[in-house]
Homo-oligomer: A and B are copies of this chain.
Amino acid sequence: MTIQSAPDLSLNCGDCPIRHRAVCARCESDELKRLEDMKTYRSYEAGQTVVWAGDEMDFVASVVSGIATLTQALEDGRTQMVGLLLPSDFVGRPGRSRAAYTVTATSDLLMCSFRRKPFELMLAETPSVAQRLLQMTLDELDAAREWMLLLGRKSAREKIASLLAIIARRDATLRLTSPQGRINFDLPLTREAMADYLGLTLETVSRQISALKRDGVIELEGKRHVTVPDFDELLAEAGDDSDGGALI
């Protein structure tokens, strides 16, 4: 049922698409060699759960391609997404044997994984890895705090506009541009996943997207393809403090 490994795949680190953004970004060639000997690939199909919160997790990993989500739940079933994992993002926590969050593959997902113990040892011995991981963790903390402002204080419309702006910005980053003027992109999430991320219900998400369309802030082609005629207008709808949103 679960495609837990992809043994046929043996990507060379030098050719890896996330070589310069992942936890290995600052490694010298000898350090990279050590990681290369430790790594295995894991792949998951869209919709599969990678780990459940509370389960034993004996590995850490980098997302190579695809998208995954980190979610937390209350016992009565209410769920909140607490992180969106994109290529180069790190999964798992050194020093912790159980997953704190449920990790789910939103699209087909490829991860470069390391057994936890050897990785922890390397972390202790290799400053370049520890420093890169610190920087990535600080970035995630900033993103989480940005999200706290959104969850605590923004209206449903502002939440949707903020999410669209973040997706647009990330999409632009991948093609090494920065978003402005007329832009378009695909939504990598269902309405329900968007709702879980934004602390809304899927009906409210749907209604607010319809409202933004009606008001000309966005155009839709199918359910998932979005065109933003004027990115600045979208930013204004997001209600952010000038400069521009997420530090992701």
What is the interface of chain A, defined by CB distance below 8 A to chain B? 70, 72-76, 78-80, 82-83, 93, 95, 100-101, 123-124, 127, 130-131, 133-135, 137-138, 140-142, 144-149, 151-154, 198-199, 239-242, 247
Tell whether, in the assembled complex, residue B134 and residue A124 are in contact, meaning their CB atoms are under 8 Å apart. Answer: no
Tell whether, in the assembled complex, residue A82 and residue B137 are in contact, meaning their CB atoms are under 8 Å apart. Answer: no
Which chain B residue lies CB-closest to A199? B152
Number of copies: 2
Q: Contact partner of A101 among B131, B145, B239, CB < 8 A?
A: B145
Tell whether, in the assembled complex, residue A152 and residue B153 are in contact, meaning their CB atoms are under 8 Å apart. Answer: no
Tell whether, in the assembled complex, residue B74 and residue A148 are in contact, meaning their CB atoms are under 8 Å apart. Answer: no
Contacts of A130 in B (CB 8 A): 127, 130-131, 134
Tell whether, in the assembled complex, residue A145 and residue B75 are in contact, meaning their CB atoms are under 8 Å apart. Answer: no
CA distance A124 to B128 in the complex (A): 9
Tell whether, in the assembled complex, residue B141 and residue A73 are in contact, meaning their CB atoms are under 8 Å apart. Answer: no
User: Other than the known A72-B241, A75-B240, what 13 A-B pairs have Cβ atoms closer than 8 Å?
Assistant: A72-B145, A74-B153, A74-B154, A78-B153, A80-B148, A95-B135, A100-B142, A124-B131, A130-B130, A130-B134, A141-B141, A141-B144, A147-B148
- Give the distance to chain B from A73, nearest Cβ to Cβ, in Å: 7
- Give the distance to chain B from A10, nearest Cβ to Cβ, in Å: 30
CA distance A79 to B144 in the complex (A): 16
Contacts of A82 in B (CB 8 A): 145, 148-149
Which chain B residue lies CB-closest to A73? B241
Please indicate which of the listed interface residues A123, A135, A144, A146 has the most CB atoms of chain B within 10 Å of its own CB. Answer: A144
Contacts of A148 in B (CB 8 A): 72, 80, 82, 144, 147-148, 151
A-B contacts, 8 listed (Cβ < 8 Å): A72-B146, A74-B241, A75-B240, A100-B145, A123-B131, A130-B134, A151-B199, A152-B199
The 7 closest A-B pairs by CB, nearest first: A152-B199, A151-B151, A144-B144, A82-B145, A80-B152, A78-B153, A80-B149
